[in-house]
Structure 1
Amino acid sequence: MQNSALKLQYNEHFLYNTLEMQPLVDNCVLHGFKDGIHPDHYIRINGFRSGQGYVVEVEDNGVGFQKGIAWSGVGGLSTVNHRLKLLFGDAGRIHIIENKPGTGTKVQIHLPSNHKQAR
C-alpha cells in the first residue's frame, strides 16, 4: 500500500447527515480501495435538489464490486437502505448508479424534501 492522502471532494453548500453518509464512505475506503490508496484515488460527495426532494451522490474510483455483493444483507449499502426505509418509508431510497469493476462505483441516496438536508 502506498502511503498517500485520499482526495475527498464534496459540495460545501449542502449539509450531509453522517448517519447516512458514514457507511458509504466506509465502503469506499474498505472495499473500493482494498488494494491500497493511490495518489489518483478519490471519493466525491455531491448533494443537490431534485424534483420534490434531495439527492446525495457518493462516488469513488476504486475497484467496484461484483453483481449481487452490494445487496447481500450486510455492509454499507444495505445498512443505509434499511435506515432510509425506517426514516422515510418509500420516499427514502438508495440506488447504484454506476458500478464498473476496476473503475469505481457511484450511488445515489434519494431523500424527501422534508428531510432538511439542504441549507
Structure 2
Amino acid sequence: MGSLVFPLLWIAMACVAGPLFGIAGAWWRRGAQPWRRYVALGAFGGLFGSEALHSWLTLGYASQAAACAAVACALPLLLGRTGKERAWSLAAMPVASFAAYLAVYGLLDQVSA
C-alpha cells in the first residue's frame, strides 16, 4: 500500500508513451510518407488492443475485452482516409497491440515479481 514502485513506474511509462503518441498524432495528421500514417493509426488502435488482451488474458473480463477490441478495430477504420490506409492500419493494429501488451504488462510482471 505504501510502495512507490507502481506509481513511479506508471509515471515513467507516461513519460515514454506521451511523446510516442504525440509523434504518432503528428504522423497521422500530416505524414509525408504513407507508412507513417499506417503505423500511427495502428498504434492508436493497438493501445486499445493491448487493453483488450489484458482484460481477456489476465483479468478474464470477456465483455470488457470485446469492447476494447471493437474500439481497437474501429479506430483505424474510422480515422483512415482511404481504403488502403484503413487496410494497412488495421493490419498494423494487432502487431502494435501485442507489442504494447508485452511492453507494459511484461514490465509490470517483472517489477511485481
Please confirm whether the aligned pair reaches a TM-score higher than 0.5, indicating the same fold: no
Of structures 1 and 2, the larger Rg is shown by: 2
Q: TM-score, normalised by structure 2?
A: 0.34
Q: TM-score, normalised by structure 1?
A: 0.33
Bigger helix fraction: 2
